[in-house]
Structure 1
Amino acid sequence: MIGDEFHSDTVPAAERFAYWQDRMCRRMAGFCAEEAGPADGGGPGFHAEELEIGLGRLGLSSRRLSSVDVVRRSADADKGGYRFLVPLEGTLLTDWNGRLGASRPGTLYFHDGTRLNALGLRAPDVRGHFHVLTLAIPQDALTLPPGSLRRLVGQELPAGEGPGALLTGVASQVLGGAHAYRPTDTERLGTAVLDLVHAYLAHQLETRAGAAPEPEHRRHALVVRAVDFMRHRLADPELTPQQVADAHHVSVSYLHRIFRAHTGGRETIAGWIRRRRLEHARRDLADPALAAVPVHRIAARWGYTHAAAFTRNFRAAYGVTPREYRHGAPAATDDDPR
């Protein structure tokens, strides 16, 4: 079992909501829960079933609950990243930065906690339960530029077909098979789920770009396609900003300009390629299944033809050499390369 399970039936009936409320408030920093329905007499009492799984840097959970409200308690609440909420039963009410919404089965809700004010989790009836899948993703795990993602944050998005149905279906299967996985499976499963997240978000961004004014549409679509092009060619040592620009029939200077605009000026194309290569290499170095693979082979797997350059870049990013990292030396950061 690779997850953490909770069932309210293990707690005395009179204490169930208070126990779960404390558990939830500790897990979702800056937010807390309030009952939205009758707990005694008028209804069946509070009920909660939860399964939480860590998939590398991602978090995946299933929650089946009586109706509750989740409200912000702190201005600095939940700055950890993005979340997909996928209602499977009942209705998800949302207040994101003052914009109200309602999501039902067949949709998903994409948000960041920095601007989320409240959630209403509504069971389909007084004796039913609200059921939701949640996928938590650190902001720096997504390769799409923040300027592009802002178009989707706080939005109800389709999940009934295509990439959305594939993503939610795989997430459900991972949760359903939690008892069969080993701890060493989690990083690999997280990589697979993250690939589906990128495919889904890129699909949504391209779909929405078509409705934008023509010049903005072209710039936005170009950034999404360029990022997708680079993601699938990180192993190619010939991947350079010039190759990316040539593949999309634009100048390097133009590609640099719109890429920096979409990343808030924080990153260049070459820096993006280097950072993602190092992330993949670090993941492979930590994988027990690859312990016998020489470091230079892992470097070559992610586009490094010179082992010395790989070691130099890895040390600059993480504060230790690849071999030291593989043998358990603590890295300078648990996040992305500096």
Structure 2
Amino acid sequence: MIGHEFRSDAVPAAERFAHWQSRMHARMAGFAIREADPAARSDAGFLAEELEISLGGPHVSSRRISPVDLRREGADSDFDKGGYQFLVPVEGTLRTDWNGRAGVSRPGSAYFHDGTRLNSLGLRAQDGRGHFRTLTIEIPKDTLTLPPGSLRRLVGHDLPCREGPGALLTGVVSHVVNSADTYRPSDSARLGTAVLDLVHAYLAHQLETRTGASLDPEHRQHALLVRVVDFMRHRLADPELTPQQVADAHHVSVSYLHRIFRAHTGGRETVAGWIRRQRLEHARRDLRDPVLAAVPVHRIAARWGYTHAAAFTRGFRAAYDVTPREYRHGTPAASDDDRG
């Protein structure tokens, strides 16, 4: 079994909303949380059923809840720093206010936001006495390699997910939460990798759909960045992946590729540096996977494009302050919180 469950029926009926409200306040400090219409709830009283699952970086959850309103009334909180979040209504309606932009999300869509300018959420049942059900997918911002400037075009918007990559993403997450008791704890990181890949595919699809047809130079540059990052992510195992190969595949010069990439990263990272960092992150994940414990370090290095084991060891030590072998065997300095 992976994940943690909460059920309001484990609490006396008169205390259920207050108990759940306290849980949410700990997570969303600065937000006032109220029942939408206490008089209209069912005879069983306030209901909240939650299953939360950490998948390494990504975090997924399902909720079934009586209608509530959440409204920002205080300063920024840890909720604002958590990352990007998809709210996917399964039953009922989600009413939103993000930076003054009002929206309504229904089943078949996913509301994408980052918390920083979220003013309110209204969770409504399909009828006056039912419940609201949702899937939630949370992604730390530093795990997404798509251009932040491009992602800002999607934040605070309702995105379709009835077909294509959106339907695939929500279908996989739905399966994970509905089958949580069939997975082992060691499956979590592998499932997280799959969810993160699907999130990238979904967001890249949405960005290309929204910007691909635009003649605006800035939009074309964002669309190119999305394609470039997606191209590199899927070829990290290729030892021949170089800035020149990336530029050739997209019919641009290497100097232009470097220019738009510097703009994307604020000058903090080169194309080659991005490739190196991503390869090391994937290798680090494999070194901690118990299923791969018998796989020699040099084979894991080769799996992510390193043809020379010594070069991999030097790069790994420079990034994480320990050798790959030390990291695999749990040297104290080799925690998952080391810089990446």
Query: What TM-score, normalized by structure 2, do the two folds share?
Result: 0.94
What displacement does 1:52 show? Answer: 0.6
2:184 alignment counterpart:
182
Amino acid at match of 1:325: Y
What displacement does 1:57 show? Answer: 1.1
What displacement does 1:29 show? Answer: 4.9
Matches within 5 A, 1:24-103: 24-38=24-38, 44-72=44-72, 73-78=74-79, 79-103=81-105
Q: Which moved more, 1:213-222 or 1:316-325?
A: 213-222
Structure 1 pair 39–298 and aligned structure 2 pair: CA distance change class (3 A): farther
Question: When the two structures are aligned, how many residues end up with a matched partner?
Answer: 338
What displacement does 1:221 show? Answer: 1.8
Question: 3-state SS of the aligned residue for 1:113?
Answer: coil
2:237 alignment counterpart:
235
Amino acid at match of 1:186: S
1:206 alignment counterpart:
208
What displacement does 1:310 show? Answer: 1.2
What is the identity percentage for the equivalent residue pairs of Structure 1 and Structure 2? 77
2:129 alignment counterpart:
127
Structure 1 pair 44–261 and aligned structure 2 pair: CA distance change class (3 A): same
CA distance in 1, matches of 2:141, 2:203: 13
CA distance in 1, matches of 2:42, 2:57: 42
CA distance in 1, matches of 2:78, 2:30: 4
Structure 1 pair 42–49 and aligned structure 2 pair: CA distance change class (3 A): closer
Any conservation in 1 of the 2:41–2:130 contact (CA below 8 Å)? no
Structure 1: gaps spanning 5 or more residues: none
Structure 1 pair 37–330 and aligned structure 2 pair: CA distance change class (3 A): farther
Matches within 5 A, 1:1-338: 1-38=1-38, 44-72=44-72, 73-78=74-79, 79-331=81-333, 334=336, 337-338=339-340
Structure 1 pair 289–253 and aligned structure 2 pair: CA distance change class (3 A): same
Any conservation in 2 of the 1:24–1:32 contact (CA below 8 Å)? no
Q: Which moved more, 1:55-64 or 1:115-124?
A: 115-124
What displacement does 1:33 show? Answer: 2.2
Any conservation in 2 of the 1:86–1:108 contact (CA below 8 Å)? yes
Q: Which moved more, 1:49-58 or 1:211-220?
A: 211-220
Amino acid at match of 1:179: D
Question: 3-state SS of the aligned residue for 1:311?
Answer: helix
Any conservation in 2 of the 1:148–1:262 contact (CA below 8 Å)? no
Deviations 1:267-322 (A, max 9, x none): 22112111111110011000000000111111111011122221122122122211
Question: 3-state SS of the aligned residue for 1:217?
Answer: helix
Structure 2: gaps spanning 5 or more residues: none
Amino acid at match of 2:243: P
What displacement does 1:205 show? Answer: 0.5
Deviations 1:67-105 (A, max 9, x none): 111233332442021001100111111111121111111
Any conservation in 2 of the 1:39–1:45 contact (CA below 8 Å)? no
Amino acid at match of 2:164: G
Query: What TM-score, normalized by structure 1, do the two folds share?
Result: 0.95
CA distance in 1, matches of 2:329, 2:29: 33
Any conservation in 2 of the 1:278–1:337 contact (CA below 8 Å)? no
Structure 1 pair 247–11 and aligned structure 2 pair: CA distance change class (3 A): same
Question: 3-state SS of the aligned residue for 1:192?
Answer: helix
Question: 3-state SS of the aligned residue for 2:129?
Answer: coil
Question: 3-state SS of the aligned residue for 2:322?
Answer: coil
* C-alpha RMSD of matched pairs (Å): 1.8
CA distance in 1, matches of 2:69, 2:109: 20
Any conservation in 1 of the 2:236–2:275 contact (CA below 8 Å)? yes
Question: 3-state SS of the aligned residue for 2:116?
Answer: helix
Any conservation in 1 of the 2:28–2:77 contact (CA below 8 Å)? no
Q: Which moved more, 1:153-162 or 1:25-34?
A: 25-34
